[in-house]
Amino acid sequence: MNFKLEKKELNDIRPTNILPQTSFWGRVKKNQGFKPYGFELSVSKDVLFNSEKTLLNVSDDLLVLLKNLNSEYCYAYIPYGPKIEPVFENQGLFLEELSEIIRPYLPPKCIFIRYDLKWENQWAKEQDCFDNSGNWLGPPENQIQEFRVNYKTNNWNLRKSPGDILPKNTFLLDLTKDEKDLLSNMRYNTRYNIKRTNKQGISIQEYGVEHIGDWYKLYFETAVRHNMPLQNENFFASILRNQDSSKNGVNIKMLMAKNDDEYLASMFLVLSKNRGTYLYGASSSSNKDMLASYALQWESIKIAKNYGCTEYDMFGSAPNLNKSHPLHGVHVYKKGFGGNLIHRMGCWDYPYMQKEYDVFKIQEIIN
């Protein structure tokens, strides 16, 4: 395989639609205890597509995050990377080669490397993985997934992670459509609720870090209501402070919807190259917030479109309309805006130290 890897400064990572592969994301995660590394990866096209000439290469940047487990051991994590995507049958061999070529750049006691793959899930193309209503049932059990992904590899060492970190299912909207078409692609109830907000006196404004306390009140209320894990207020403040206001950087907009001086809903819109991402959302328990969240989302979509974005990532949903799924309500809400549902491969591990990895995996499953 023709692989080449070179280190580069974090701030030299080129702009990309993939938010978790930006230098901005590296700075945010650094505040959470990760150590970010930047690389440039070059791969010959024959590795990716089977039919291209070896002399032709594809290059892209790669953000790698290192996390210490204790004073001795650590692991490496690649959020939504690598961005370079091979054909299905080459994915395992590609990850194996990348894992081995990146290993000398990692500490000797790095237990494993984890890829949080944004690649389309291989089983999202198979009819047997859908029910009669067209709902995706998800991939098969881990052992079957590992058998296919490790096909053609030398070490047969790739393992499906016990869980996934970044959203594995999401709705993606096409912002090349005009506003009229975007509205017509929505479900009737969504479009109706957006129109109703004009009569309810709900206003949307962008706020700076000085209003982070107002955001956090809504966020805390939402997290408790849905039994979600809590981030602290400083985490969200660091997101606003770490943005790059230049056109080629990552821009953050904290948008809040209010009525009669009462904050009803809020969200973080992230603009990265040609993609807008609905990163975080929160709302009050007031009945008014139901309309406010529709107004907020529609305004966010229009802002992203006017900024020049060609797509909009809802950043997380249930994989289908199964009512027992904890994200069922989120799925129905986001589906109403008319995007295409995308299923990703999720987290995959390549152990360097098998015994230590097995212990870590057991602890992770228990937790």
User: In the chain, what are the domain boundaries?
Assistant: 3-166+345-366, 176-309
Number of H helices, E strands in the chain: 11, 13
The pLDDT value recorded for residue 243 is 81
pLDDT of residue 245: 62
The architecture CATH gives domain 3-166+345-366: 3-Layer(aba) Sandwich (3.40)
With a CB cutoff of 8 Å and minimum separation 6, the contacts of 300 are: 253, 255, 267, 269, 276, 278, 312
User: Which residues fall within 8 angstroms of residue 209, CB to CB, at 6 or more apart?
Assistant: 237, 240, 241, 254
Q: Which residues of the chain have pLDDT under 70?
A: 1, 50-55, 245-248, 287-290
Give the alpha-carbon dihedral of 145, 146, 147, 148, to 10 degrees. 60
SS (H, E, C) 239-271: HHHCCCCCCCCEEEEEEEEEECCEEEEEEEEEE
CATH number, span 176-309? 3.40.630.30
User: How far, in Å, CA of 287 to CA of 58, rounded?
Assistant: 51
Please return the burial class of 269, using the count of CB atoms within 10 Å of its CB with bins 0-12, 13-18 and 19+: buried
Measured between alpha carbons, how far is residue 167 from residues 234, 261, 301, 319, 323 in Å? 23, 33, 19, 10, 19
Residue 51: what pLDDT? 63
Contact (CB, 8 A) for 297 and 278: yes
3-state SS class at 310: coil
Q: What is the pLDDT of residue 191?
A: 94
Cα 96 to the chain's mean position, in Å? Answer: 23
Q: What residue ranges in 208-355 does DSSP mark as E strands?
A: 250-259, 262-272, 275-283, 311-313, 340-351
Report pLDDT for 208.
Answer: 93
Domains 3-166+345-366 and 176-309 share a fold: yes
Angle at 85 between CA 300 and CA 147, to 5 degrees: 115
Q: Are 6 and 25 spatial neighbours (Cβ–Cβ below 8 Å)?
A: no
What pTM value is reported for the model? 0.93
For 135, residues 6+ apart whose C-beta sits below 8 A from its C-beta are 320, 321, 322
**Helix %, strand %, coil % for the chain, to 5?**
35, 30, 35
Among residues 285, 314, 310, 309, which one has the least CA distance to residue 297? 314
pLDDT of residue 52: 56
Q: Residue 70: its pLDDT value, please? A: 92
Q: What angle do CA 224, 216, 271 make, to 5 degrees?
A: 110
Position 287 scores a pLDDT of: 60
Find where tokens 């299923």 sit.
Answer: 343
